[in-house]
Structure 1
Amino acid sequence: MYRHSRLVGVMLAASMAFAFGCGQTSHSMWKDTKRYYREYLNPPAQVDFGEAGYSTPEEVRLANGFVGIDLQLRALERGLDNADRRPDRSWVEAFLRSYPWMAGAAAIDASGEVLARMPSFDIKNIDFSGVLEADPKQKMRMLRSVIVDTPLGPEIVVAVPLYAGMDFKGVIAVHFDVRALLPYSAAPADIVIAAPSGILWPGKYDITATPLHDADWAKLVAKDAFGTLSNAQGEFFWVTRYIGNIPLVFAVPVEGSFPEKPEQLAVLAKARELGTGGRVQTPAPVEPSPALGEDDPSLLVSPAPELPGSPIEESTVR
């Protein structure tokens, strides 16, 4: 247990170091630190941030694989939480430029109709219905998430619910392929990313030979925030972080040796193609939205023209 708590502590300390390097204030960093205690340490543990370096290979592997991705997800959460109450096209354009690993954004009304999207075409045929209903375990105005299957692989959808008073009007949703985040990891081949729906990224491993293959993640994350899984080949350590109400699991091997599939790493050379790369056009002017009874322009207009998209060809990544 000490070793596993230490691994989580190392991950936390590394995230703090990266965040301070990016200019985050000590006040906001302390708030994030307390959140990490609540999410990852049960019961809360005392972490020695003054310790120099990492002492074990698994600590280095966990920090290298996880921290860069975690920082991007944390930035996304802050960006969505701080979104304008009625985000307009200019906001969406700026948002996609800030997060080039995003595949797109859309405005969906309460009935499920997609009113506008950027890019203006949807080669993935995203089903946004899962973010229209609030998770009964969370507050109705919190970020909502769902993982949907697409012809190009699993897509994570994160949505900001919009209300006029107590009336639910719809959501602004962004979506991405988790593999588009791999360039932000210092060691993407060494880490496995999973969710209750299945494996999202197998790393370099033959996932069927690992104890992660048939894990019941919904049951595991409901009970613990981190833990280990083992089989005859060895042991993996895993830790959970949430994006909206969806748990993402990050796992690294800590003991033993597992068969590898190097061909799976070919996607790393094309991972950036899975996002827009910030390639968005200047949006057209938007008329005020009478549907919301507001003076500010909004994506939730009816009817609404499609948002101008970027000429992104269908990705060759599978």
Structure 2
Amino acid sequence: THRVLAPRPAPPKSPAAAFVSADPRIAAIVQRVAIAAARKMPILIRGETGTGKEQMARHAHAASQRAGSFVAVNCAALPDSLIEAELFGYTEGAFTGARKGGSAGLFKEADGGTLFLDEIGDMPVTLQAVLLRFLDDWTVRPVGGSKREVDVLLVSATNANLDDAIAKGRFRSDLLFRLNTLEVTLLPLRERTDFADIARHLMAKIDPSIALSEAAIQRLAQRSWDGNIRELRNVLARLSLSETGPVIDAATVDAAIGPGSAEPVAPKIKMDESAPADLHEIQRALVLATFAETGNNISKTARRLGISRNTVYRALRGKPG
């Protein structure tokens, strides 16, 4: 008798993550991230603002085939005094202002899924120690509550130089070693070879009825794109409003955004903490105006004004610089 061999199960399909990877270097990163995510390895994604770090994190979540939620946290945007409570949760009455019934916390919300810690380089040093303890046993300790174990895929991202932050004592080296089991760096848009694919993909998501001509793509590719893919998406959204029919050409690009001229640079300012309140308001107004001009881009606002990203965040929250 002949032995009948059962057919091999088909390998899991690649997740349909919307991350363009026609550039071979990006394709290799996408594959490595998928493998690490399936093995629940902590992943650290580096890259300039707007290069698609959150999209890559979502790709990791999809590749992991985890049933839980994808929970994104901007570490720089959370109030320093409440960041531990927001991440790990708290019981009712744990501190002044705690909401009735308490909060499960973002780590618990991501249980069975993925927790994405964006701007990890801006996490306060005191909280880094708490995060390091969590990575030892994957147990959350809510403020005022009892500890409980959670199952999360941890993905972190930063555009900061963590090695420099470690040298200056702003980031723990032992935490970095726990976060970067796999570390990848996304290329800036200006260095990628698949600009045309990215532009067409973004336009198809913005308005599938509009196409970009080859000349329009070439004209767009000539720009520096300091804001990377995020900036390109904003420009394409603006172009989609042009009343030029179903095809956007080079003339439409020039009319809407100019022939690749350099970005205007505002005079640098210093957010003086000792300044009187009315001057703080003037400084904050300048930050808010520049923030609006840059299409709500934190990094571009900071570059134009010569200030830190945290200063921009504080201005947006209405706090003195």
Structure holding more helix per residue: 2
Q: Max radius of gyration: which structure?
A: 2
TM-score by length of 1: 0.24
Q: Which has the higher contact order (CA 8 A, sep 6+)?
A: 1
For normalisation by structure 2, the TM-score amounts to 0.24
Bigger fraction of residues in strand: 1
